[in-house]
Amino acid sequence: MRLKGSPGQKAVIWLFLAPASISLFVFFLYPIGYSLVLSLFNYDPLKPREAIEFIGLGNFTAYLGGTDFVSQYKHVLYYLILYIPLVLTTSMIQALLLNREFPGKTAYKVLFYLPVISSWVAVALIWRWLLHGQYGLINNLLAFFGVEGPSWLNNPRWAMPGVVLAAVWKDTGYYALILLAALKGIDKGYYEAAVIDGAGYMQRFWRITLPLVTPTLFLLVVINVIAGFQVFESIYIMTEGGPAGATRVPVEQVYRNAFTYYKMGYASAVAWILGFVIMIATAIQFRVEKKWVNYES
């Protein structure tokens, strides 16, 4: 990078750039490079240096050739298929509601945003109780309507939907604010013209609102797919990957291998494979972007 100006001005510029550059190298570039090197070794930090063994792509082939790779990415896809439509729908409903005037709107904003600023530990404790098979509020509500609820987090079939419900509850407020900003940016002239033409509320939503917020929806889909592949806190706190491995995902596998089994090389290989998968998934989304995203001219 070439800087213009006198030597003194360049020194000042480098001085201001130094903190960000150092943190970028220390906390981002160096760990990435070091993990790539580790992925080529059989490395256990608790064993002596002599025990370190270079195995090339052995960690990558071991993970890709095992059953964990397929099952964990199936769980991630299941999570994404449940989570993204649900969180975007609830966020859009909240955004449409907040785009209107009603008594107590400010207090409502505070209440619906509280889960966003809550820690995952607190959210997990609340939802472990809500989803409890015998004493949980959700099963009590289902029983009121004559439906017998499952033992959510202890049932391999229902554990992932239980985690998704908690994640949607926590994240809806954040994405609703982003969609609210997109709604505020729509020219009111479109709605006025539609009303003159006799369009109802649903027609205005499907033909004006939804097409004009598709750029924001695309952004949220990209963000959520990337975040979904890296889902960890909610699953680790609520189910620890269980029951019977039904909620095991790649990041949980990275954590478990690195800090439980001390297989640092294997954990690094899993992390690098996850990075490649996320890049491919993101590239596919940008590839199909023009087929459904409408950019207002």
Residue 297, pLDDT score: 53
pTM: 0.89
Residue 1, pLDDT score: 63
Question: Where in the sequence is the domain holding 225, given as residue range(s)?
Answer: 67-248
> Is residue 294 domain-resident?
no
Residue 65 to residues 57, 229, 246, 256: CA-CA distances in angstroms? 12, 20, 19, 19
> Is residue 11 domain-resident?
no
Residue 274, pLDDT score: 95
In the block, tokens 């991630």 appear at 76
Q: Which of 210, 230, 226 is nearest to 285 (CA)?
A: 226
SS3 label, residue 48? coil
> Is residue 1 domain-resident?
no
Residue 296, pLDDT score: 66
CATH number assigned to the domain comprising residue 117: 1.10.3720.10
Flag residues of the chain having pLDDT under 50.
none
Residue 264, pLDDT score: 93
Cα(29)–Cα(17) distance, integer angstroms: 16
> Is residue 61 domain-resident?
no
> Is residue 278 domain-resident?
no
Residue 265, pLDDT score: 94
Residue 293, pLDDT score: 86
Residues 6+ apart with CB under 8 A from 226: 278, 281, 282
> Is residue 144 domain-resident?
yes
Residue 271, pLDDT score: 95
> Is residue 55 domain-resident?
no
How many structural domains is the chain composed of?
1
> Is residue 275 domain-resident?
no
53 pairs with which residues across the strands? 42
